[in-house]
Amino acid sequence: MKKRVLIIILLAGSLLFLGSVLKAQSPWGGLVTEGLVFHSTLMGDVRYTIWLPPGYDTDHRRYPVVYLLHGFSDDDTGWLQFGEADRIAGEAIAKGKIPPMILVMPDGGVTWYVNDHTGKKPWEKMFITEFIPHIDKTYRTRPEKQYRGIAGLSMGGYGTLHIAMRHPDMFAAAVAFSSGTITDEDVVRMDDREYKNYFGDLFGKNLTGEKRLTATWKAFSPMDLLDTQPLDKLKTVRWYLDVGDDDFLYRGNSALHVKMRDIGLPHEYRVRDGKHAWVYWRTGLEAGLEFIGESFHR
Whether residue 204 is contained in a domain is answered as yes
Helix axes 278-296, 85-94, angle to 10 degrees: 40
Whether residue 14 is contained in a domain is answered as no
The CATH number linked to 120 is 3.40.50.1820
Whether residue 165 is contained in a domain is answered as yes
Whether residue 27 is contained in a domain is answered as yes
- The total domain count for the chain is 1
DSSP H helices in 127-249? 132-138, 155-166, 184-189, 192-195, 201-203, 215-220, 222-228, 231-234
What is the residue-wise DSSP string for 236-280?
TSEEEEEEETT-TTHHHHHHHHHHHHHHT---EEEEES--SSHHH
Q: Which range marks the domain in which residue 184 is found? A: 22-296
What is the residue-wise DSSP string for 55-103?
TTTT----B-EEEEE--TT--TTHHHHTT-HHHHHHHHHHTTSS---EE
Whether residue 3 is contained in a domain is answered as no
Whether residue 263 is contained in a domain is answered as yes
Whether residue 33 is contained in a domain is answered as yes
Whether residue 73 is contained in a domain is answered as yes
Q: pLDDT tens digits, the chain, 298 residues: what are they?
A: 444 333 333 333 333 333 478 888 888 889 999 999 999 999 999 999 999 999 999 999 999 999 999 999 999 999 999 999 999 999 999 999 999 999 999 999 999 999 999 999 999 999 999 999 999 999 999 999 999 999 999 999 999 999 999 999 999 999 999 999 999 999 999 999 999 999 999 999 999 999 999 999 999 999 999 999 999 999 999 999 999 999 999 999 999 999 999 999 999 999 999 999 999 999 999 999 999 999 998 7
